[in-house]
A and B are shown apart, each in its own frame.
Chain A
């Protein structure tokens, strides 16, 4: 059974810092990995999707990497801003189906 873990569970940083969020998964036979953002009480917004054959994806100040063999992904946020404060979730899909298995999330607070 696939298990996804995110460390740390919560993170507080001053504005402007570069930061890394970690995601690990137990079964390396994934189809892809997605990073999502969730604002309090709201739905999920997809940030980046990395196919299993890819090593990384970039969007603006966000960069996500994937090391499938070691079961790890990182989300790098450059020059953090207070507006980045949210919960960040990673999720993997198994085989060709798109059932997502989520981690517990990292709650990020960026202080002005």
Chain B
């Protein structure tokens, strides 16, 4: 069975540009969450989506947005990129949105902003 997949694996952008990151959850999983992991730190929660609705939002500026599609895949969009947005962006999926669910992480997209 395929795990969580993310694309692209690596990305280089310049300040002010826009980026779209994509995530496909494990088949049958309806919940997708996004995390940002800056080098040397633990991941920080950005968004959670369940059944195409936003269920949670972390402490990130409005430049960050996301959506979930009918097939439960998800996109994370970041506008007006800053140098500080350079990080590993992780997607996690779970069957439902409940706290008892184990979350399964993808390999991440490494974004470098120059």
Q: A71 at the A/B interface (Cβ < 8 Å)?
A: no
Which B80-103 residues have C-beta < 8 A from chain A?
88, 90, 92, 94, 97-103
Q: A97-B55, A102-B43, A102-B44 are in contact. Are A32 and B99 (CB under 8 A)?
A: yes
Q: Does the CB pair A98–B110 fall under 8 Å?
A: no
Stretch among A36-44, A58-66, A75-83 lining the B interface = A36-44
Question: Chain A contacts of B35 at CB under 8 A?
Answer: 100, 102
Which A1-20 residues have C-beta < 8 A from chain B?
4, 6
Q: How many residues of A contact B (CB 8 A)?
A: 29
Which range holds the interface residue count of chain B? 20 to 34
Q: A74 at the A/B interface (Cβ < 8 Å)?
A: no
A39 to chain B, nearest CB (A): 10
Chain B contact residues, CB within 8 Å of chain A: 4, 31, 33, 35, 40-45, 48, 55-56, 58, 88, 90, 92, 94, 97-108, 110
Chain A contact residues, CB within 8 Å of chain B: 4, 6, 31-32, 34, 36, 41-46, 49, 51, 89, 91, 93-105
